[in-house]
Amino acid sequence: MPSLTSRHVKQQEMLGRVASAFAISDEQFQKIVSSLHAELTSGLQKNYKRIGGELHMSPSFIHNYASPNGTALGMAIEASGKRIRISSASFDSSCSLSSSATQVFVTPKSSKHSTSSFFNYIAFCIREFLQTNNLESALGSDSSSGNRRPQRFLPLGISIGLPVSNKNKVAEVAKEDCLDLCGSDIARRLCDTILRSHLPVRVTSVTNNTVSALIAAKYTDKNTCVAASFNHGINAAYMEDINNVESLVSPSGQSTNSSFQVAINTEIGRFGTRTPNTLPLTMWDRRLDRESKHPGARVLEKLVADQYMGEIVRNLITDFMDNQLLFSHSCDVRAISAGYSFHTAYMAPIIEDASSEAKAVEDIFAAEFGISGITLADRMVIRSLCEIVAGRASRLAGAILAALVVKATAESSSASGGSQMSVALSGILFDMNVQLYENTVATLEQYLADHSGATVNVHLQNRCADLFGAAVNAASL
């Protein structure tokens, strides 16, 4: 049989080829940043979609986030429709948050069969939330009859994990496991359902969840001009001078309010859809894209998002297996051979285990895939594959943020008197992988130091930022 030394040499040779394929040179990095920045700039043109623009670049008018008052509701609808989160936020006379409550509802399968049944379930959730938290007490009473009944409505801001147009219509569903609401007017459909259900609630806004997170960030730090989310999908929003958005400028060349800023929902994960050569795609990326539900769509997202990174690692592992460079012949590898069985969540403990034994690999593969007795050399290969994929993801995430910061810097400087800009990051990808988050921030800071001299404060938002942002937007009318 071949010697262990010979097998180890072949492992290292293949590992070297993988590392080379996933490496992003400084030249490639600059090309990605420049291409992203150019696409963000082009996206503000009125004919952007007609000339084949890749991004969504939809402006969202947000209310005066600095002065919320009273009690408002926020609702977050996941792209999959699996969960609906509702919160209440009460603000005192100084616009500070005085109390809040949150409740999570899991949507039954029967309520996702049609849009009508889905919105009926949302109305049910609202009623349950109001009753559970006794929120009707926040409303006025009819003193003439002596009976307590609503005299005004609770404003409701909706945050949804899908792109929405200025007319509150869902513009795209090209995501895996996505609820089919394409073309639905979220505000109108929900308003109709709320009226039929006699609920004391009024829908005041519908925004993408990343725009909602941007609102939440600006409430706590007015200098925040970029918010980016790295979850199962990726997205980013930033603040833009309204005069730069051609669709909002009158024929005379002026907007209705020249000092006003709007939030731009970029749908940055779409990048590379029409220009894939801009991104450093490997054979494993192309395989994943080809086998996905929407081949050719949201190419950048498939390189960075939590939903896909684990699958990229799994594809690499199975290629090593096919070359007889991982696991013994007696191992049952059926579980690891199943698509999307290696979750991105497994990568963090494997990477963070810096011990010489790489025990995290053994523990995870024994518990999740029934593969035990993995040799030290094989454990090291698996850890290296996780590090390679995560390393590229942090470089790409840094490039995304660099392009957004460069785009937003001029607008931020003019709007805030040249004060330092802040960037808000969120998402399960960073929550569970501290090293990936730190490398992303370091990549961004290094690029800015080398190219623009700009400095930013970067902070990590909690998972409910979009929900709170929706409530702030509703309370800021």
Q: What is the pLDDT of residues 76-124, one digit of tens each?
A: 998 888 899 999 999 998 999 999 999 999 999 898 888 889 999 999 9
Q: If you average pLDDT over residues 165-183, what whole number do you get?
A: 60
pLDDT score of 145 more than 50: no
pLDDT score of 417 more than 70: no
How much of the chain exceeds pLDDT 70, in percent?
A: 88
pLDDT tens column, 274-296: 877 899 999 999 999 999 988 99
Q: Return the pLDDT at 287.
A: 97
Q: What is the pTM of this model?
A: 0.91
Q: If you average pLDDT over residues 310-332, what whole number do you get?
A: 96
In Å, what is the CA distance from 325 to each residue of 6, 33, 372?
Answer: 10, 37, 16
Alpha-carbon distance of 434 to 248, in angstroms, equals 40
pLDDT score of 206 more than 70: yes
Alpha-carbon distance of 345 to 360, in angstroms, equals 12
Chain-centroid distance of CA 466 in Å reads 10
Q: Do the Cβ atoms of 367 and 290 come closer than 8 Å?
A: no
pLDDT tens column, 429-457: 999 899 999 999 999 999 999 988 888 99
